[in-house]
Amino acid sequence: MPRAHSAPVVAHLVREQANAVQLYLRYKGYHWNVAGPLFRELHLLFDEHARTVFETIDVLAERQRMLGAAVPYTLEELRAASTLPAEGTLPGTTREMLARLLASHRVIIEGMHAAFKAADTEGDPGTADLFARFVQAHQKMEWFLRELASEPPVVADEPGRSAYVAEKSGYATPIGAAHGSPSFPSHPLPS
Ligand SMILES: [Fe+2]
């Protein structure tokens, strides 16, 4: 059992609990509202990531109890503790959805690096291990989103392949076309 109530470590746990709640809701919102040719892939991926994020919430909260702290649970408390950018309005394109999710994961990954260091400094290997595991989950989700949002690779040595990849990836602009990077399909959501 770690020593009771380390304020810096608990603050990291509260922040990441709040960020996880906000990111879970963001994922579910996009899961429900996504539209367009990539609908099936993104609809399913967003729900899969939502489940992964959801499972972290309880662990982050209960760790606070193990350290002797009371756990915040109201929407007001959690919104105040979150460091993710506010959602504002629904993204108008799938590209914007991916951009906001990527930004969210990057804030969390950075926060968890700091949290790991704080727990390690406090001599709290249990909390350090928790953040070491969760940061890997966020890095994996960030990787999947980054690949989805990335431009297709240029395959200069294989004539015909670039057109094939462009067709399969759903990118309208053939790879290797002069100038103008291929754009991610952008589909306005129904108003
Ligand atoms: Fe669903």
CA of 44 to the centre of ligand 1 (A): 8
Domain boundaries, the chain: 7-149
> Chain centroid to CA 13: how far?
17
CA of 26 to the centre of ligand 1 (A): 13
Decide: 31 and 47 in contact? Cβ < 8 Å.
Answer: yes
CA of 159 to the centre of ligand 1 (A): 41
pLDDT value at 3 more than 70: no
**Backbone Cα Rg of the chain:** 20
| pLDDT confidence of residue 145 | 97
Contacts of 123 (CB under 8 A, 6+ apart): 2, 3
Task: For residue 27, name the pLDDT band (cuts at 50, 70, 90).
Answer: very high
CA of 43 to the centre of ligand 1 (A): 8
What confidence tens digit (pLDDT) does each residue in 32-50 have?
Answer: 999 999 999 999 999 999 9
Question: Within 10 A of 180 (CB to CB), how many other CB atoms are there?
Answer: 7
What is the C-alpha separation between 33 and 31, in angstroms, rounded?
6
CA of 29 to the centre of ligand 1 (A): 10
Residue 20's H or E segment, with its range, is: helix 7-33
Candidates 3.40.50.300, 3.30.43.10, 3.30.1130.10, 1.20.1260.10; correct CATH number of 7-149?
Answer: 1.20.1260.10
What confidence tens digit (pLDDT) does each residue in 67-112 have?
Answer: 999 999 999 999 999 999 998 899 999 999 999 999 999 999 999 9
Task: For residue 2, name the pLDDT band (cuts at 50, 70, 90).
Answer: very low
| pLDDT confidence of residue 4 | 52
